[in-house]
Structure 1
């Protein structure tokens, strides 16, 4: 089974989340590199197009595998998409969907009360 390189607690200010995958707590993060990986995989022109795709609320199982895999790799976990496809998560498909939703929220949503920086 793949090994995680990153231990400790997730830092939401960095866009990190924690999830139980194959019975182990893992940290996931959609870093800039992970987002570039997803732009390519989903043929999105830019981050706005990628965010709009996710905001639609409809996702295939293959999409969830890609997002979870990119999040794991972004946090330094050695997981391929094939590893993610065979991994177990409490709650089955609903558990996978919850991980994706939490990861996308941590990445794209601005914390309540926070204003964007001045240009």
Structure 2
């Protein structure tokens, strides 16, 4: 069961309930992927409300890896989610809110 106090969430991806968490390592991975200079810049980018499908894949994949899953971005991109694109966006928003606080979502 996910512990929201540790920034964990649960989401159904690819037909399985999975735990996601943006650990410090996962956040460092996202900083590099988005060319963000620090966590504030990363949070501002996410808070802009303008995320591409590729951005959602990166965020969700980093969250899965942060929780210990050995998964590649292309594998996450192929996973089905209830609600389609809106479902992916919802998972990413919940994960970001758990990490940065509700204002980030």
Q: TM-score range by the shorter chain?
A: over 0.9
Kindly indicate whether residue 66 of structure 2 is the aligned counterpart of residue 74 of structure 1: yes
State the superposition RMSD in angstroms: 0.7
Q: Which runs of at least 4 in structure 1 moved beyond 6 Å after TM superposition?
A: none
Higher Rg of the two aligned structures: 1
Match of 1:27, SS state, is strand
- 1:78-101: per-residue Cα shift (whole Å, max 9, x none)? 211010110000000000000000
CA distance in 1, matches of 2:10, 2:17: 7
Report deviation, 1:71: 0.1
Matched, 1:49 2:41: yes
Q: Which of the numbers 20, 23, 26 marks the counterpart of 1:28?
A: 20
Equivalenced residue count is 102
The residue aligned with 2:52 is: 60
Q: Which runs of 5+ in 1 are unaligned?
A: 1-8, 111-119
Using the size of structure 2 for normalisation, the TM-score is 0.96
Instruction: Show the counterpart of 2:81.
Output: 89
Shift of 1:77: 1.1
Where in structure 2 are there 5+ consecutive unaligned residues? none
Hey, which of these two has a bigger chunk of helix by percent?
A: 2
| Alignment of structure 1 residues 9-28 onto 2, 5 Å | 9-28=1-20
